[in-house]
Chains A and B, each alone.
Chain A
Amino acid sequence: MKDRVKRHWQLYLLLVLPVAYFVIFQYIPMANNVIAFKDYNVVQGIWGSPWAGLDHFERFFANPVAWDLIRNTLMLSLYGFLAGFPVPIILALALNEVRARFFKRTVQMVTYAPHFISTVIVVSMLILIFSPRIGFMADFLGFFGMDSNLLAQPDAFRSVYVWSDIWQTAGYSAIIYMAALAGIDPSLYEAARLDGASRLRKIWHVDLPGIAPTVVVVMVLSVGSVMAIGFEKAFLLQNPLNLSTAEIIATYTYKIGLLNADFSLATAVGLFNSVINLILLLVVNTVSKRVTGNGLW
C-alpha cells in the first residue's frame, strides 16, 4: 500500500486543496454546531463558552412562534411537493407523444428558460406582474373578481411561492423523465402496437413502468428535502403583511442569528431543521427501497 501511495503521490497532492476546502467550509461548520449546546460568546469562543445543554432548544420550543415556523415550513414544502412533483412527469409524457419536431423543440426551449433566471428576478417579476397598479395579472385576477394584490395576502403566499416555482422549474425538471422515456426498450412499444394498445394504454403500461425508477429517485430526493426548503425565495417574497405564513425556519434562523446576533439559538434551530431533514431522508429512502426496490443508495 505504501508503494501505491508513493507511485501515485501526485494524485494525493491534487487532493490537498479540495480536501482542505471540504474540511474548512463543510466539516468545521458541522463541528461548530456544538454551540447549539453552549452559551456562545465571542470572548470565550466556540470551545471556551459554557455548556448550556438543551436550553436553546427548550427556548425555541417554548416560544409559540416555533410551531408556526414548523407548520409554515412543512406546509410550504408539502404543497410544493404535491403540486410540483406530477407536473414535470405529465409534461414529459405529453412531450413524448408529440412527433412534430419544431413544436416539441419550441416547447422545450421555452420551458427550460425560466430555470436560468435568478430568484431575485423571478420574485421581482412576481411583484411587478401582481402589482395592482402596474401588473397585467392584477387585471386578470380582477376580471374574475379576486383580490389582485396576492403578495399582501398571507393566505396566498404558499400558492404564489409554489406555482411560481412550478413555472420556473417544471420544464427543466422534465428533462430527466424525457431521458428515461428515451431509454425504454423499443420492443415494448412494438409489442404494445401488436396488441392494439391505445396511446393512453401505452402510456399506462409501457411509459409509466419505464420511468418508475427515475420517479422514485426524484421523489425520495424531494421528500428528503422537505425541511430544507430554501431561504432565498421565501426571504425575498416576505413583507410585513404576509409574514404569518411566509416566515419559515430558514428565514427565522437568519433573522435571530445574523440580525439579532443570537448565534446559539439560531444554530440550535438550524440544527433541529437539518437533523429532522436527515431523518426524513433516511426514512423515505428505506421505505422506498422496501416497497419499490429503488432508492438513492
Chain B
Amino acid sequence: MTLETATGAALGTEPESEPNRPKRRRPTPVQDTPVDRIFMVGVYILLTTFLLIVLIPLINILASSFSSPAAVSGGRVFLWPVDFTFVGYEAVLGNKAVLTGFGNSLFYAIVGTIVSVTLTVMIAYPLSRSELVGRKVLIGGVLFTMLFSGGLIPTYMVVRALGLLDTRWAIILPAAVGAWQVLIAMTFFRSSIPGELYEAAQLDGASDLRFLWSVVLPLSKPLLAVIALMYGIGQWNSYFSALIYLRSEELYPLQLVLRNILIVNNSAGTNLADQLAAQQMADLMKFSLIVISTVPVLLVYPFVARHFTKGVMLGSVKG
C-alpha cells in the first residue's frame, strides 16, 4: 500500500481520479444477502445519526448568530435564524478587544508557524541522514519529550528566567517545535527523497545546505504544508500559554479574549445603558463571536482536511 492510496482511501477519494483513467471500481467485496441489506440499513442509520449529532450544534450556532438579540436571549432559535439581522456581527466587529485579539492571533499564527516550520526542518533534515553522527541519540532525545515533559512550573521558571514573561516570544518559543512534527518530517525526508538525487547533487559539488534548499525543500511542499497547518492551527486555537505567560491585555490572542468574554463572562456589552438590552446583546454577541473566530480555520478547512489526513498517515509510518 502506498501512502497515496492510503490517504486517498481515508478521504474517500480514490487517488485523485484523473479524467482519462479508466474507472477501476472495487467490486462489492461481499454479495448482499437479505440480512446484509438490513445490516446496511443499520449502517446508514448509524452514520446519519452521527452526521446529525455533529451538524446540529454547528447549525444552531450559525443560525443564532444571524438572529435578533431578543430571539437568541429567549431561546427561540433552533436551525434557522429568527428575525434575520447582522447586529451581532456589527457589535463583535466594533469590540476593540476582539479586534486586537484577532490581530495578535494572526501575528502569533504566522510568525509562530514560520519559526516552528524552520526549526522543525532544521532538525528533521539532518536526523533523516544516516551519516549523521549521534543520530540515534538525538532522535531518542526528541522522542523522549513525547513521553515525559518538564511540567508546568518548571517550564514557567525557564520562561521567566529568560525574561520572556509578558512578551510575544513567550507565546511563540516555548512550544515552537513538536516532537510529533519532527517525526513526521524526518519520515518524509527518508522515504520521499531518493538517494540518487543526493549522489547526483554531490557529483555536481552541491553542499548539504545547497541540496536541502534547492532539491529537498521544493520536493517537500506537501510535508511543509502539513506541518505548517498543524502549527498554524495549533497556535490559532491555543489559549494556554497566553493564560500563563501574558499579563498585558494588548498582547492577548483571540482565544484568551474569547475565554474572558464567553466563559468567564467578563461581558463585553455591559456599557450599554439598558440592562436587558445589554444582556440580550451579550448573549447574541457570543454566537457571532464563535462564528467569526472560527472563520479563518473554516476558510482553510477543505485544504486542511486533505493535508491533515496525510499528516496522520505520515506520522503512522514507522521511522
Contact = CB atoms under 8 A, between A and B. Distances in A.
Nearest to A174: B10
Interface stretch (B82-90, B220-228, B232-240, B268-276): B232-240
12 contacts: A10-B208, A15-B122, A17-B122, A18-B120, A29-B157, A90-B46, A118-B239, A182-B5, A198-B36, A214-B316, A258-B152, A274-B148
Interface of A: 1, 4-5, 8, 10-15, 17-19, 21-22, 24-33, 35, 46, 90-91, 94-95, 97-99, 101, 103-121, 123-125, 127-129, 131, 133-136, 138-139, 167, 170-172, 175-176, 178-179, 181-183, 186, 189-190, 192-193, 196-200, 202, 214, 231-232, 236, 250, 253-254, 257-258, 263, 266-267, 270-271, 273-274, 278, 281
A121 B293 contact: yes
A182 B36 contact: no
Contacts of B31: 193, 196
B171 interface: no
B58 A113 contact: yes
Given A110-B55, A179-B10, A21 B176 contact: yes
Contacts of A253: 151-153
Given A33-B150, A94-B46, A136-B60, A116 B233 contact: yes
B151 to A, nearest CB: 4
B32 interface: yes
Nearest to B8: A182
B156 A257 contact: yes
B215 interface: no
A278 B236 CA distance: 29
Given A15-B122, A179-B312, A189-B30, A113 B54 contact: yes
Range, interface on chain B: 35 or more
A91 B46 CA distance: 9
A50 B302 CA distance: 56
A192 B148 CA distance: 45
Contacts of A103: 44, 47
Given A18-B119, A183-B1, A198-B36, A24 B158 contact: yes
B73 A134 contact: yes
A258 B47 CA distance: 45
A128 B286 contact: yes
Interface string B291-315: 0011001100110110011001100
A205 B176 CA distance: 44
B207 interface: yes
A167 B312 CA distance: 19
Given A125-B61, A274-B149, A178 B10 contact: yes
Contacts of A171: 50, 54
B145 A26 contact: yes
Given A110-B51, A134-B72, A29 B125 contact: no
Contacts of A263: 153, 157
A120 B153 contact: no
A231 B241 CA distance: 11
A97 B125 CA distance: 40
Contact of A30 (B7, B36, B150): B150
B123 A19 contact: yes
A22 B290 contact: no
A32 B157 contact: yes
A85 B60 CA distance: 27
Contact of B125 (A14, A120, A182): A14
A178 B290 CA distance: 31
A112 B305 contact: yes
A14 B123 contact: yes
A293 B5 CA distance: 26
Interface in B201-237: 207-209, 212, 233, 236-237
Interface stretch (B91-99, B189-197, B256-264): B256-264
Given A30-B148, A32-B157, A274-B148, A15 B75 contact: no
Contacts of B248: none
Interface string B148-185: 11111111111000100000000001111100000000
B114 interface: no
Given A108-B11, A111-B54, A125-B57, 10 more contacts: A18-B123, A26-B145, A117-B237, A121-B293, A125-B290, A175-B309, A179-B6, A179-B10, A231-B240, A258-B156
B142 A32 contact: no
Nearest to B14: A101
Contacts of B141: 22, 27
Given A29-B150, A108-B11, A199 B258 contact: no
B39 A200 contact: yes
A133 B73 contact: yes
B133 interface: yes
